[in-house]
Amino acid sequence: MENREELEITETNEPSLSQVACIGLGFVGYHSAIAFCESGKAVVGIDIDDDHIRTVRNGTHPFETNGLREFLDRETCTLSTRVSDAADCDCYVISVPTPLDERDSPDLSALRDACQQVSTVLDDGDLVVLQSTVYPGCTRDELRPILERSGLEAGADFGLSHVPERYSPSDERSRRAPRVVGSIDEDWRAVTAAMYRDVTRSTVPVSSLEVAEAIKLVENIQRDVNIAVLNELTTVTDALGIDIWNVIEGAETKWNFHRYEPRLGVGGHCLPVDPHYFRTATDHLDEDLELVMTARDVNGSMPGYYGDRIAEYLASVDKPVSEATVAVLGLSYKPNVEDPRNSPSVTLIRHLRPNDIDVAAFDPQFQPNAEIEGIGIENGTDAVSTVRNADVTVVGTGHDDFQRLQPATLGDLMADDPLLVDVARLLDTDAVDDSDLVRLRDYLTTDRANSPRDDHNGETSAADANQGWNDE
């Protein structure tokens, strides 16, 4: 990398970059722009969506606004829809979407477009950092050639690094996760790590771009597979008449049992997506990700599993499905966020609709009466009006707001034989037991069970059982 003398030398003897373009101002890029601004960098926030720029400018977007006022007040921090307005920057941090297409293959269109835009303003000594999640080899093989349309060579003329984002909404611990840094060469890795040390607690330099890309995917894939194990075990324990929650509580008394929990399904734009990204890297190999993709299918099948169990229950109480009403509380993919991407609740609604079942939905994170994308229903105004006269209530997302729901009230508001589908067991179990509600898990493990039911009494808490034990 011959052209780095113009970068000023910082106290860590690494050249310092001072003007950062953050391309893509979604959840990831927005937080990066604020963080780099707070670290004293000049920042140009770039997003192709003019409306989104407007929401950032007036603070009406769904992300936290800590630091936004300082960003907007600082003359050296600006917003634009054009990468050309960032031509004076010396670092380009790309955080655009990397979703799947309709064939479950990586859709790199946004990424290619962003790289093409950057290639038009790239100068000697600049650094390009990819934060978006991609598959191993993508940065080097797909994005580097686009960036080199600038006439510059990655490594020799400009830096190319992959620093995957680990932060996720409503998980403050993940915000402070160390940042993995993989680069085109060691010199640029040092420059990148120095820049990120200003915005995170610690950096983890790794040996290559591909290792950094793989780390991100492996973290999420391991989580997806482990959740799939619990989801599959839940369907089996249902059939055996065993309550999975008693099994989890008991298994947790072993110090090296890692707790994962069954849910209506696995949502978000990462866990359902990342196995398919990694699978892409195996396309030319004899080896494949058979277990990983099977686990993905298990998780993807869960909303349908619960949809079928609901239909089964309705038939068992002589309620024609086409005349039934299902109330779905929670549309986000996980608690306390406003994000319906790959939401299991939305997938469940899609699964139920062909049966002409009537569906009402409410999510406090969404605007009342807002149209819920892709399922043709509007968000309700509150939980009570949503569940009134419903035959089934599904607690699809464990928002904190729903902790206040009183099972007795739900039972009174709903139709006869009211079914509660609360896979995450959000509602107080004793209160549910004392209400008129029929818990789906009880229905599944009672009316269909052949084996002895598990004993609800005399359970030992994990904390008590693990007194004094250390992890292996």
Ligand X SMILES: NC(=O)C1=CN([C@@H]2O[C@H](COP(=O)(O)OP(=O)(O)OC[C@H]3O[C@@H](n4cnc5c(N)ncnc54)[C@H](O)[C@@H]3O)[C@@H](O)[C@H]2O)C=CC1
Answer for which of 267, 380, 396, 418 binds ligand SAJ (CB under 6 A) is 267
Is 48 a binder of ligand X (CB under 6 A)?
yes
Q: How far apart are CA 251 and CA 263, in angstroms?
A: 18
Answer for which of 61, 140, 189, 263 binds ligand SAJ (CB under 6 A) is 263
- Distance, first Cα to last Cα, the chain: 45
- Under 8 Å between Cβ of 110 and 100: no
Q: What is the 3 state secondary structure string of 341-389?
A: CCCHHHHHHHHHHHHCCEEEEECCCCCCCCEECCCCEEECCCHHHHHCC
Say which entry of ligand SAJ, ligand X, none residue 132 contacts (CB below 5 to 8 A, set by partner kind): ligand X
Say which entry of ligand X, ligand SAJ, none residue 334 contacts (CB below 5 to 8 A, set by partner kind): ligand SAJ
For helices 290-316 and 274-281, the axis angle rounded to 10 degrees is 150
Strand, coil or helix: what is 427? Answer: coil
Is 335 a binder of ligand X (CB under 6 A)?
no
Q: How far is the CB of 174 from ligand X (least distance, A)?
A: 8
Count the alpha carbons within 13 Å of 24 in the hemisphere toward its beta carbon. 23
Is 219 a binder of ligand SAJ (CB under 6 A)?
yes
CB within 8 A of 93, min separation 6: which ones? Answer: 20, 21, 22, 23, 29, 32, 36, 129, 131
Say which entry of ligand SAJ, ligand X, none residue 159 contacts (CB below 5 to 8 A, set by partner kind): none
Answer for which of 44, 163, 271, 444 binds ligand SAJ (CB under 6 A) is 271
Q: How far is the CB of 303 from ligand X (least distance, A)?
A: 21
Is 24 a binder of ligand X (CB under 6 A)?
yes
Looking at residue 178, the DSSP 8-state letter turns out to be: P
Is 220 a binder of ligand SAJ (CB under 6 A)?
yes
Q: How far apart are CA 130 and CA 138, in angstroms?
A: 10
Nearest-CA neighbor of 263 among 300, 216, 220?
300
Touching ligand SAJ, residues 152-211 (CB under 6 A): 165-169, 174
Q: How far apart are CA 350 and CA 376, in angstroms?
A: 10
Q: How far is the CB of 400 from ligand X (least distance, A)?
A: 19
Backbone angles phi, psi at 454, to 5 degrees: -75, 160
- Under 8 Å between Cβ of 444 and 309: yes
Is 249 a binder of ligand SAJ (CB under 6 A)?
no
- Under 8 Å between Cβ of 44 and 85: yes
- Under 8 Å between Cβ of 47 and 21: no
Q: How far is the CB of 270 from ligand SAJ (least distance, A)?
A: 3
Is 46 a binder of ligand X (CB under 6 A)?
yes
Say which entry of ligand SAJ, ligand X, none residue 357 contacts (CB below 5 to 8 A, set by partner kind): none
Answer for which of 122, 206, 270, 387 binds ligand SAJ (CB under 6 A) is 270
Is 227 a binder of ligand SAJ (CB under 6 A)?
yes
Amino acid identity, residue 305?
Answer: Y
Q: How far apart are CA 178 and CA 191, in angstroms?
A: 16
Residue number with CB closer to ligand SAJ (14 or 165): 165
Q: How far is the CB of 167 from ligand SAJ (least distance, A)?
A: 6
Say which entry of ligand X, ligand SAJ, none residue 24 contacts (CB below 5 to 8 A, set by partner kind): ligand X
Say which entry of ligand X, ligand SAJ, none residue 47 contacts (CB below 5 to 8 A, set by partner kind): ligand X
Is 168 a binder of ligand X (CB under 6 A)?
yes
- Span near ligand X by CB under 6 A; candidates 43-51, 85-93, 319-327, 453-461: 43-51
Say which entry of ligand X, ligand SAJ, none residue 371 contacts (CB below 5 to 8 A, set by partner kind): none
Touching ligand SAJ, residues 74-103 (CB under 6 A): none
Answer for which of 32, 95, 280, 325 binds ligand X (CB under 6 A) is 95
Say which entry of ligand X, ligand SAJ, none residue 104 contacts (CB below 5 to 8 A, set by partner kind): none
- Span near ligand SAJ by CB under 6 A; candidates 65-73, 266-274, 307-315, 355-363: 266-274
**Residue 438: strand pairing partners:** 419
Residue 104 tokens read as: 């479950």
C-alpha separations of 344 from 99, 248, 398 in Å: 17, 22, 12
Is 373 a binder of ligand X (CB under 6 A)?
no
Q: How far is the CB of 318 from ligand SAJ (least distance, A)?
A: 33
Q: What is the DSSP string of 123-142?
A: -TT-EEEE-S---TTHIIII
Touching ligand SAJ, residues 386-415 (CB under 6 A): none
Helices (H), 241-317: 244-251, 274-281, 290-316
Q: What is the DSSP string of 78-106?
A: EEES-GGGGTT-SEEEE-----B-TTS-B
Would you tell me which residues interact with ligand SAJ (CB under 6 A)?
133, 165-169, 174, 219-220, 223, 227, 260-261, 263, 266-268, 270-271, 333-334
